[in-house]
Amino acid sequence: MTKLTFILPDGTERELEAKPGLSVMETAVQNNIEGIVAECGGSMSCATCHVFLDEASLERIGGPGETESDMLDFAATERRPTSRLSCQIKVGPEIEGALISIPERQY
């Protein structure tokens, strides 16, 4: 299992054990993390699973690909250099200990 910490818009932190192979979005939805809407179910067509990663985690997993970057332009909350779509981040050892901040709004 991989430890992830979700930081909700109000500053509340929720630490979870995530199952390798799932996406960060799937992990959030399965654990009722508020603020991850995931309207499209992970098909990268809605940007309602937008998150901000801590810089160290982003360095380990890398930034968004071209299609994900294009979709982030449609996110309800302005993107940051550490923005990713959580449906595109697979849980694995490289994301261990990640701090994942949820934007104030997704739509």
Query: What pTM was estimated for this model as a whole?
Result: 0.94
In CATH, which superfamily holds the domain spanning 2-101?
Answer: Beta-grasp domain (3.10.20.30)
Quote the pLDDT of residue 8.
Answer: 97
pLDDT tens track for 21-42: 999 999 999 999 999 999 999 9
pLDDT band at 3 (very low <50, low <70, confident <90, very high): very high
Measuring CA to CA, which residue among 40, 96, 93, 34 is closest to residue 68?
40
Question: Domain spans of the chain?
Answer: 2-101
pLDDT tens track for 27-86: 999 999 999 999 999 999 999 999 999 999 999 999 999 999 999 999 999 999 999 999
Quote the pLDDT of residue 107.
Answer: 82
